[in-house]
Copies of this chain bind each other. A is one copy, B any other.
Amino acid sequence: MNFEILDKSTITEARRGVLTTAHGILQTPFFMPIATKGAVKTLSSVDMEKLNAQILLSNTYHLYLRPGMKVIESYKGLHNFMNWQKPILTDSGGYQVFSLSKMRKISEEGVEFQSHIDGSKHLLTPELSMRIQQILGSDIVMAFDECTPPNYDETLLDLSIMRTIRWANRCKEYFEKNLSLSNNINALLFGINQGGIDEERRKMHAIELKKIDFDGYAIGGLSVGEPFQDACRIVDVLNKVLPEDKPRYFMGGAKPHELVAYVKRGVDMLDCVIPTRNARHGLMYRFLHDDLNRDDFYETIHVTNEKFSKDQSLLLQKRGVIKTVFDEELERYSLGYIRHLFSVNEMLAYRLVTLINIRFYLELMQRIREGITNKSL
């Protein structure tokens, strides 16, 4: 068993545990900062170690196109390439093929697409997605799926989710048969649940996935534009269907209070570009209250706003339940200075606010884990 539940909330479905991977043991629930192209934007892997990030998420689609698998193979995997020896989860490439590529044509075989960089044509199949992720040496490999958009009609949705099941089977088969050729022979393989915001389809899909028997289950196709309440409802439903003894991963898109809501519904793993992408637009997160059950436990600060130009209050105002080596640095700079750096496009601004926001998300996860143990969440 690579997943063990240590604590369960008595008031919600939240659970605290440990997930063992080839590159280390992860405390769940955890948040994965996104290193799309082999680096968390503006930060180095040494920085991520110093922030005590447990795991990074990298994108198959981007790394397949650049630097390409020959380069990654020459390094014997992504861990060596980016010099990060803690766990890495890679997505399947499916989501980016649908959201970024110029042209895409879905068939039973896979998805034909054109690179958003040079227009070159590629065919991404379940087997190729597995092969790429095995070359990357990922610790948690994601099955190849179609992330269905919220406005899909029922026929398209049914065709898609049935195909995703067939693809999931092909992934599992290829993954196991070729594990010995992988750069990470102890990798875990996760299946991805789809079904839009329809409860019955989600349940049926989850039951089919369970039959394939994955190391963990992801909830895909949410945070794609549907109301937050719908996402919560689907997670609630899946909480009852997905195997309790396997980790559950809510894919993509979670503001801080949403993240708390999903954990309360039994989610163990989360990722999101919000802390890093928003940082580069000058949006900072800061704790307001210790009680995570309040939706207003945090505030967002738009530091580019002119009202901060003479604001000498500090970037990091009070240390919470975690401590990082960056704290001293983050406690030195004022909002006025950061506001100036944004106004003159100094890259330092992006870096400092990225540090602040990732630190916030990691502290939030630590507070969540402690909250589960303390029975306050």
Residues of B within 8 A of A334 (CB): 75, 81, 83
0/1 interface trace, chain A 342-364, chain B, CB 8 Å (1 if under):
01101110111000000000000
A352 touches B82 (CB 8 A): no
Which residues of A35-57 have CB atoms within 8 Å of chain B's CB atoms? 37-39, 41-46
A203 adjacent to chain B (CB < 8 Å):
no
A337 adjacent to chain B (CB < 8 Å):
yes
B42 touches A348 (CB 8 A): yes
Binds B, one of A7-15, A66-74, A158-166, A281-289: A66-74
A81 touches B337 (CB 8 A): yes
A337 touching B82 in the complex, CB below 8 Å, given contacts A310-B71, A344-B37, A344-B62: yes
Which residues of A78-125 have CB atoms within 8 Å of chain B's CB atoms? 81-83
A299 adjacent to chain B (CB < 8 Å):
no
B66 touches A336 (CB 8 A): no
- Identify which of B41, B45, B312, B341 contacts A39 (C-beta below 8 A): B341
Which residues of A306-320 have CB atoms within 8 Å of chain B's CB atoms? 309-310, 312
A345, chain B: closest CB distance, angstroms:
9
Residues of B within 8 A of A67 (CB): 309, 336, 340, 343
> In the assembly, what is the distance between CA of A334 and CA of B44, in Å?
13
- Identify which of B43, B309, B310, B329 contacts A46 (C-beta below 8 A): B329
> In the assembly, what is the distance between CA of A348 and CA of B276, in Å?
13
Could you jot down 30 A-B contacts, CB within 8 Å? A37-B344, A37-B346, A38-B337, A38-B341, A39-B341, A39-B348, A41-B348, A42-B347, A42-B351, A44-B333, A44-B348, A44-B352, A46-B328, A46-B332, A67-B309, A67-B336, A67-B343, A71-B309, A71-B336, A71-B340, A74-B312, A74-B336, A75-B310, A75-B334, A75-B336, A81-B337, A81-B340, A83-B332, A83-B334, A347-B347
